[in-house]
Structure 1
Amino acid sequence: MGDGSTIAPKDTQTIERDEAGDQRLGETVRLLRQRAGLSIQDVATRTGLSTGMISQLERARAMPSVRTLRLLSIALDVPISYFFEASDAGEPQRYIVRKSNRRLLRLTASGVVKEALTPAGKGELEFYELTLNPGGSSGTDFFQHTGEKAGYILAGSLRLWLDHQAHLLEAGDSFRFPSTVPHMFDNPTQQVARVIWVTTLHQADPPAG
């Protein structure tokens, strides 16, 4: 009962469009690209995304999927958390993340919100709390790279696709797999899902073609 009463209020929440956040995300992608001395074509070549898609992302006219952001983070040589919005609740700490200080990333087109649970800066791993709307997903394509991923379902259900096989996970279930296994995820239910997601930060080779 105690666990249910704690989780229930968040189960009814849905992810709403944050236009200011969308604009900030686009500006962050553009600034990181320029800082790396890369053209839009360079980033397109490294990620396998079209130049038109990258241009639209930078102008907040298209919203990325989780997979697209991972490709961009690899191409720009930054952790995916660099795209997160910093909290204004106080000065961040080097080793500790207070709940009020979590950095936030809203992927409204994908129905996903990611809250960073690790401090800012590069490290060997990152972990997040993911909130997925009904129908929310990592995108329509499988993804693979070096490293490892693991997670725990806090509430709701997560359908985890590993090597083209679907696994429906419920609250209390957990997982771990090599990131070289083609993977994607979605929430096929009518309830909001919450997941702890852990990933190592090894870099992947650029996609072929």
Structure 2
Amino acid sequence: MDGRGNANNAKDAPGNEADDAVDQRLGETVRLLRQRAGFSIQDVANKTGLSTGMISQLERARAMPSIRTLRLLSIALEVPISYFFETSDPAEVPRYIVRKNSRRLLRLTASGVVKEALTPEGKGQLELYELTLNPGASSGTDFLQHTGEKAGYILSGSLRLWLDNQAHVLEAGDSFRFPSTVPHMFDNPTQQAARVIWVTTLREDRATV
């Protein structure tokens, strides 16, 4: 596939302070979840297929993860991908409601993706997100497949959805649904941002993305 970009490269130069803070928090979260599970870096590498060097760089905020990388980590560590999101203000957070100005964010600067959680914190049978894909943004460089199901609706812009090596260009108003066992990935090959409502059902009783 052409134009997918590489979202898993180690940092070549320091970013701005906000991006560095996001990467630092992500790295600390990965390390704490790994240690809580009693896994070594090698254990996580074996479970995800990622290299030990990549995992070490992520934990030290020296690499920028893609959505695919975080999906693999969430599966290996048995947590929802929302564990990697910025934490919301715990004061008076409704149990079943998410207000627009209280959405938890996941900014993946390397991938060009901003992911907003539309479902409340805590485990459930599905997760709902609003994705903003900047020009050239992608889910990563490799296909992903796992159990569960995915669906979505294009709010604006264009999304190129790859399903089993076949590309489908979706425009505003288009929608989709597919089993997550189908090898899949996505990107935005255009010069304008795209916004997508993204739904993921969770595999069995464990959370995935």
TM-score range normalised by the length of the shorter chain: 0.7 to 0.9
What TM-score, normalized to structure 1?
0.87
Deviations 1:100-143 (A, max 9, x none): 11100011000001000001111111010000110000001000
Give the equivalent residue in structure 2 for 1:83: 84
**Structure 1 residue 92: Cα displacement:** 2.1
State the percentage of identical aligned residues: 86
What amino acid is aligned across from residue 181 of structure 2 in structure 1? T
**Structure 1 residue 20: Cα displacement:** 0.8
CA contact (8 A) 1:97 1:119 kept: yes
Give the equivalent residue in structure 2 for 1:168: 169
**Structure 1 residue 90: Cα displacement:** 4.3
CA contact (8 A) 1:90 1:101 kept: no
Give the equivalent residue in structure 1 for 2:31: 30
Give the equivalent residue in structure 2 for 1:196: 197
CA contact (8 A) 1:87 1:100 kept: no
What amino acid is aligned across from residue 117 of structure 1 in structure 2? L
What amino acid is aligned across from residue 84 of structure 1 in structure 2? F
The 2-side partners of 1:75 and 1:90 are apart by: 31
Give the equivalent residue in structure 2 for 1:125: 126
CA contact (8 A) 1:89 1:100 kept: no
Deviations 1:25-73 (A, max 9, x none): 1101111111111110110000000000000001111011111100000
**Structure 1 residue 87: Cα displacement:** 2.5
> For residues 1-209 of structure 1, what are the structure 2 equivalents within 5 Å?
18-88=19-89, 90-202=91-203
**Structure 1 residue 89: Cα displacement:** 8.1
Give the equivalent residue in structure 2 for 1:8: none
The 2-side partners of 1:46 and 1:92 are apart by: 34
> Bigger shift: 114-123 or 82-91?
82-91
Give the equivalent residue in structure 2 for 1:12: none
CA contact (8 A) 1:89 1:101 kept: no
The 2-side partners of 1:189 and 1:89 are apart by: 38
Give the equivalent residue in structure 1 for 2:3: none
The 2-side partners of 1:74 and 1:89 are apart by: 26
The 2-side partners of 1:88 and 1:119 are apart by: 12
**Structure 1 residue 22: Cα displacement:** 1.1
RMSD: 1.5
What amino acid is aligned across from residue 124 of structure 1 in structure 2? Q
The 1-side partners of 2:133 and 2:186 are apart by: 10
Give the equivalent residue in structure 2 for 1:3: none
Q: What SS class does the counterpart of residue 23 from structure 1 fall into?
A: helix
**Structure 1 residue 94: Cα displacement:** 1.1
Q: Which runs of 5+ in 1 are unaligned?
A: 1-15, 204-209
Number of aligned residue pairs: give it: 189
> Bigger shift: 127-136 or 82-91?
82-91
The 2-side partners of 1:70 and 1:26 are apart by: 15
